[in-house]
Amino acid sequence: MAWNEPGNNGNKNNDPWKNKGGRDQGPPDLDKVFRKYSDKLGGMFGGNGGGNKGSSNLNGMVIGFVLVIALVVWALSGIYTIKEAERGIILRFGQFHSIADPGLRWKMTFIDKVIPVEIEAVRSLSASGLMLTEDENVVSVEFVVQYRVTDPRAYLFSVTNADHSLQQALDSALRYVVGHSSMNDILTKGREEVRQKTWDELTKIIDPYNLGLLLTDVNFKDARPPSEVKDAFDDAIAAQEDEVRFLREAEAYEREIEPQARGQVTRMTQEAEGYKERITLEAEGEVARFNKLLPEYQMAKDVTRQRLYIETMEGVLNNTSKVLVDVKGGNNIMYLPLDKIMQNSQGGKITLPKVSELQNLRQKMGNSRGNDSQVNSPSDRFATDRFGNGR
């Protein structure tokens, strides 16, 4: 039952407002209420609270101990570590304050915020898609760019998202370069040029934004024609690869043959020079020999002519294994089988001509002696010769 309901016998002790006016239902005195709670709070923090002075001192010690514990926990919570490959971006009240180096660090919790940024790891992004070439063909191209962070502050605050910005820049640069290149260059021989142009164009795009990134490599990963014409392009690429292979083989053959040809030319030149020198010396020797022989011939033409004949025949007969002896004035030709004699001599046995054969040869030579021409006779065969005016 409520304290002020009828039948409660006017129990004023239950009146929360301590209304002593009987049935007076007016508002309480706010000044007294505020004063009462102020006294209680003052006692809790060491003030004089009247009769509760001892209790207030105890409460103050508890509050102080709690505050010390909270302060220690707050201080310990600010300890953090920055790895060797990282740099820490310190934000104080949300604004950039400084960059923390690797090691054990401390920050003011709830005031400072630390964002670690990896600066040594190499990151990668890729861009791919169907793109239109300069000659109005469609190719599927895929590029991969590798980069790392060089400026952590610029990486976090120059743009909203540096990685996403680099992705968009890569796609833009790739489409620009592909749009200014022919399909044949992209698929075959111009891939390196397309890669280098894409790198240069990407660098030109991201430089004004100061993303805090460094491009380490740009890779032309793949380029394919549309599936409808893929077989034809595969044949074209195979033919170009065969062309390159044949060129390499031809160059290798050239490098192999050229030294051999040069060596052969050198050898032939040296042989020709040696032959020239030999023939010249032989000719000079013949001239000197003739110059020495001429005075002797003029003094004794017959003897000299016969000696020359004998020497000449000796040189001729040294190179033949068959000798035919013709006797002037006779109808028979004598044959000396020197080849058979030499064959028999190879076994260590030499077969000499028979005695009858030698006698027959002597007889024929004696009969023909009288028919020889006499010196300065009408039948002299050497009356007119090429050495002078006869004997």
The answer to whether residue 20 scores a pLDDT higher than 80 is: no
Residue 114 contacts residue 100 (beta carbons within 8 Å): yes
pLDDT band at 51; cut points 50, 70, 90:
very low
Integer Cα distance of 200 and 206 in angstroms: 10
Say whether pTM exceeds 0.75.
Answer: no
Q: Which residues contact 323 (CB under 8 A, 6 or more apart)?
A: 317, 335, 336, 338
The answer to whether residue 57 scores a pLDDT higher than 90 is: no
Integer Cα distance of 133 and 118 in angstroms: 38
Note the pLDDT tens digit of each residue in 131-141: 888 888 888 88
Beta carbons within 10 angstroms of residue 104's beta carbon = 8
Integer Cα distance of 12 and 22 in angstroms: 7
Residue 143 contacts residue 127 (beta carbons within 8 Å): yes
Give the pLDDT confidence score for residue 301 in this predicted structure.
Answer: 82
Give the pLDDT confidence score for residue 382 in this predicted structure.
Answer: 46
pLDDT band at 171; cut points 50, 70, 90:
very high
pLDDT band at 201; cut points 50, 70, 90:
very high
Closest Cα to residue 78, out of 112, 115, 116, 117?
A: 112
Q: What integer is the mean pLDDT of 270-274?
A: 93
Note the pLDDT tens digit of each residue in 88-111: 888 988 888 888 888 888 888 888
Note the pLDDT tens digit of each residue in 331-377: 666 666 666 666 665 555 555 556 676 667 666 655 544 444 444 45
pLDDT band at 185; cut points 50, 70, 90:
confident
Give the pLDDT confidence score for residue 342 in this predicted structure.
Answer: 65
Note the pLDDT tens digit of each residue in 278-331: 999 999 988 888 888 788 778 888 888 888 888 887 777 777 666 666 666 666
Bridge partners of 104, per DSSP, are 81
Angstrom distances, CA of residue 318 to CA of 108, 289, 322, 323: 121, 22, 10, 10
**Could you tell me the two tokens for 43?**
């006692």
CA 355 from chain centre, in angstroms, equals 92
Give the pLDDT confidence score for residue 390 in this predicted structure.
Answer: 45
Give the pLDDT confidence score for residue 375 in this predicted structure.
Answer: 44
Check residue 385 and report its DSSP letter.
B
Integer Cα distance of 86 and 118 in angstroms: 4
Integer Cα distance of 206 and 85 in angstroms: 24
Give the pLDDT confidence score for residue 75 in this predicted structure.
Answer: 86
**How confident is the prediction for the chain on average, in pLDDT?**
77
Between 342 and 170, residue with greater pLDDT: 170
